[in-house]
């Protein structure tokens, strides 16, 4: 099955039939807007109240924002992208060792989204890594390129720390105690998707990833600094999120939409591909522990704002999410009160 990987073939001259979307599902790239108002939060600001209010505004109106001066060394971000690209450039027989199309595997190299179920594939290869606790998972990570384990595990630790800091600020922005969300989510799991989008002969006919929301709590995305591809849906229009130097994109996931009682949005987003360049991205996901009970706090469900979603465990949500297609209706709709 590893021969399905896009990264094993050289330049693709035409788009294979099983990647072509029906007319009604195509990205319509000429209709995508550029939005210069995408929220950027400077984490080094000494004005914590301003940071909290910027985050509140971004989570309500966009469902995502970018952070700069976030404390993760710029050199590390550069090393992560470089080593990720080296991995996808390994010889096919080396990559074949890591290939699997079983979504339950903790470490796997695969392609598209759920290659067993789909009829139309996405123009993406990805390496899926579980990252917490690191000592449990790192031994099974790829041994080549040689520095892969070191660089990626250092990055995982930094991202986790940043994620908890952001969850604290998001808690405060909802008027809750700083550690509220972290407490509710329990001992959080952490995953990473290292995405490779090859140069594509027909970007207007396919996706890197079609529109979806993230099933977890918080996503921290390291974007390619040179090639744009992330787009988010705002008020019915797709907006291109152009890379900002050394910024990370923070995405509200489904669990924060539920916990905030719908106040914060788990945003629909997608990845488009490029005719001239390959593109990389590294998405880190903070996920509630499976037994975490997701239910909005009393403070957010008072007079006139009843709970929008019923209580459920994250394990229940996650199994529902994976049993659907990526671009079906918002999975949270299945949990309405």
Least confident residue range of 5-9, 82-86, 192-196, 312-316: 5-9
Query: What was the pLDDT predicted at 253?
Result: 97
| CA gap 230, 271 in Å, rounded | 5
CB contact set of 8 (below 8 Å; sequence gap of 6+): 2, 92, 95
β-bridge partners, 230:
271
In a domain? residue 1: no
**pTM here?**
0.96
What letter would DSSP give residue 255?
H
Please tell me the total count of domains within the chain.
1
Per-residue pLDDT averaged across 132-138, rounded? 97
pLDDT at 12: 83
| pLDDT value at residue 302 | 81
DSSP string, 169-231: HHHHHTTS-TTHHHHHH-S-EEEEEEEEE---S-GGG--SEEEE--SSSEEEEEE-SS---EE
The answer, yes or no, to whether residue 38 has pLDDT greater than 80, is: yes
Tokens in use for 298?
A: 């009393």
Determine if the peptide bond prior to 145 is cis (ω within 30°): yes
Fill in the DSSP letter of residue 262. T
- For residue 8, tell me if it sits in a domain: no
Could you tell me if residue 222 is inside a domain?
yes
Whether the CB-CB separation of 205 and 301 falls below 8 Å is answered with no
Residue-number span of the structural domain to which 256 is assigned? 23-335
* Residues 76, 159: Cα–Cα separation, whole Å: 11
Buried b (16+ CB within 10 A) or exposed e, 88-104: bebeeeebeebbebeee
Mean pLDDT of the chain: 94
| Contact criterion met (CB below 8 Å) for 336 and 310 | yes
CATH number at residue 302: 2.60.120.330
Say if strands 209-212 and 248-252 run parallel, antiparallel, or are unpaired.
Answer: unpaired
pLDDT band (50, 70, 90) for residue 140? very high
Residue 159 is given by DSSP the state: H
**Which residues contact residue 30 at a Cβ distance below 8 angstroms, ignoring those fewer than 6 apart?**
none
Does residue 237 lie within any of the structural domains?
A: yes
Would residue 4 count as lying in a domain? Answer: no
């Amino acid at each position: 099955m590893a021969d399905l990987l896009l990264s094993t073939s050289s330049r693709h001259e035409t788009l294979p039939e099983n990647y072509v979307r029906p007319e009604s599902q195509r990205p319509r790239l000429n209709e995508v807007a550029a939005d210069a108002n995408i929220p950027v939060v400077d984490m080094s600001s000494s004005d914590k109240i301003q940071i909290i209010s910027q985050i509140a505004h971004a989570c309500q109106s966009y469902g995502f924002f970018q952070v700069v001066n976030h404390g993760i060394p710029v050199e590390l971000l550069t090393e992560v992208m470089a080593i990720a690209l080296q991995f996808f450039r390994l010889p096919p027989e080396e990559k074949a060792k890591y290939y699997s199309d079983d979504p339950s595997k903790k470490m796997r190299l695969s392609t598209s989204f759920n290659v067993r179920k789909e009829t139309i594939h996405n123009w993406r290869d990805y390496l899926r890594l579980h990252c917490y606790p690191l000592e449990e998972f790192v031994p099974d990570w790829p041994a080549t390129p040689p520095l892969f384990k070191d660089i990626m595990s250092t990055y995982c630790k930094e991202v986790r720390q940043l994620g908890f800091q952001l969850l604290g600020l998001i808690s405060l922005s909802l008027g809750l105690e700083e550690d509220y969300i972290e407490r509710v989510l329990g001992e959080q799991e952490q995953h990473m998707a290292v995405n490779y989008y090859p140069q594509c002969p027909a970007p207007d006919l396919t996706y890197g990833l079609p529109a979806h929301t993230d099933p977890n709590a918080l996503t921290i995305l390291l974007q390619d600094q040179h090639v744009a591809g992330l787009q988010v849906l705002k008020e019915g229009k797709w907006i291109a999120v152009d890379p900002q130097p050394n910024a990370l994109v923070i995405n509200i996931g489904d669990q924060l939409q539920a916990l905030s009682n719908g106040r914060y949005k788990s945003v629909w987003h997608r990845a488009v591909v490029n005719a001239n360049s390959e593109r990389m991205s590294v998405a880190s996901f903070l996920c509630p522990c499976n037994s975490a009970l997701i239910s909005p706090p009393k403070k957010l469900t008072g007079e006139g704002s009843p709970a929008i979603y019923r209580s459920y465990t994250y394990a229940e949500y996650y199994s529902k999410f994976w049993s659907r297609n990526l671009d079906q209706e918002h999975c949270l709709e299945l949990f309405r009160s």
